[in-house]
Amino acid sequence: MTIEAFATCPKQLELLLKEEILILGGLEVKEALAGVHFQMNAADLPRLIMWSRLANRIMVKLGGFQCRHKKDLYDAVSGIQWRSLCRQIPDTLSLRFSGTNPSLNNSHFSSQVMKDAVVDQLFTFYEQRPKVVKNDGHLSIYGHLRHNQLSLYQDITGHSLHQRGYRSENTLAPLKENLAAAILIRAGWPEKARQHYHLIDPMCGSGTLLLEGWGMATDLAPNKNYKSHALFSWQHFNVNHWHQLLDESEQRHQQALQTYRGQIIGVDHHKKSIEMAQENSQQLSAGDRISFHYQTLDKFKIPPRNNLIVANPPYGVRLQKNYLSSWRQLAHWLANNVRQAQAAILTPDESLAWLLGYKEQASYLFYNGRIPVQLRLMDIDKSNRLTVPDKQHFALP
């Protein structure tokens, strides 16, 4: 049975997510703002959920309706056979609603109308009401209203897939896991890992970039530990099939573990962050294949060649008042301790990128939360250094 669905993602990841969904068997795959429309066989959706490194949520489209007023909304929601969407009577219900029109101008109110319609229908049938919960109900519903057109979806992921489950505690400013995955894809890490490159993060924090990089290098299913009421109670979910997918993913991982020979190394001068990174890597059973070091950059030596350096240095006074000194130390380390490497550095503006002292080969826009940032790719070798006039005493731009 072919299902029409929408996968949500952070802005600027749409094209990468489109490619990922195509590889995982999607049809009619079309980018939209912060998401991708696609069709897929119902039986293949759990595989997409287990293997997507980039999606936030997967939502199955239930229908589109003209909707101007409260009654249109109530009638449209009542027209869906909610009880047939779950394998058993849903114990819990979660709802989200976005969008307005002149009459339905409060999305909280629209969500209440949607809830009343679903609960009334389920009560008529089962004589019991599901408990309304904030997230990941056994039945999770999303309504979106735009230009008087209502789209209704069943959210079969329940919560965002970027929460892989390996990160127990947050450090200062961790990257979301799917943003880290997108950064690594743009930096060419999947191909470089096949060539046994080393992955190095000199300001690794809780290690998100390296742990995602480890997952890619060792073909680890990003969402193998994913647990969700919404998915497990979805009408097309099959427990045996999920276990088969888990077995298959374990085989793939074991095989890739034998193959990948690179090293994954992280450094940070914040002790607590390194402790967290170590804990997180234990969750992935990475053993000693990833090493995290609490040390200053000046003493950090990396392998002589085949290095991809990735970094998300600090910026913005909220995170670190003297963040400029971190960028200077990074520039000094690249110039003095790195003989040959490719680097992918997340930079908030041109002047900090310029401070690093290398010409960039490509750059990509991402959003870290709401903050626009550029990923800049550069070759770290002497021939690629920016030339600065001898007597220049000011910073550009």
Binding residues for ligand SAM, rule: CB under 6 A, are: 171-175, 203, 205-206, 208-209, 267-270, 273, 296-297, 312-314, 326, 329
Using CA atoms, how far apart are residues 285 and 199, in angstroms rounded to an integer?
18
CB of 91 to ligand SAM, least distance (A): 35
CB of 291 to ligand SAM, least distance (A): 15
User: Between residues 68 and 270, which has the closer beta carbon with respect to ligand SAM?
Assistant: 270
3-state secondary structure of 161: coil
CB of 213 to ligand SAM, least distance (A): 11
Which residues are within 8 A (CB) of 391 and not within 5 positions of it... i.e. 6 or more apart? none
User: Between residues 114 and 204, which has the closer beta carbon with respect to ligand SAM?
Assistant: 204
CA 28 vs CA 4, 21, 42, 61, 159: distances in Å: 9, 10, 15, 14, 25
CB of 78 to ligand SAM, least distance (A): 45
User: Between residues 206 and 342, which has the closer beta carbon with respect to ligand SAM?
Assistant: 206
CB of 171 to ligand SAM, least distance (A): 5
Asked whether 374 and 347 are in contact (CB, 8 A), the reply is: yes
Which residue number places its CB atom closest to ligand SAM? 205
CA 173 vs CA 131, 195, 207, 313, 389: distances in Å: 35, 31, 11, 10, 36
Asked whether 373 and 352 are in contact (CB, 8 A), the reply is: no
User: Between residues 215 and 313, which has the closer beta carbon with respect to ligand SAM?
Assistant: 313
User: Between residues 157 and 273, which has the closer beta carbon with respect to ligand SAM?
Assistant: 273
Using CA atoms, how far apart are residues 315 and 303, in angstroms rounded to an integer?
28
CB of 180 to ligand SAM, least distance (A): 7
Q: Which residue type, as a one-letter code, is found at position 305?
A: R
Residues shown for the chain = 397
Using CA atoms, how far apart are residues 103 and 115, in angstroms rounded to an integer?
18
User: Between residues 85 and 179, which has the closer beta carbon with respect to ligand SAM?
Assistant: 179
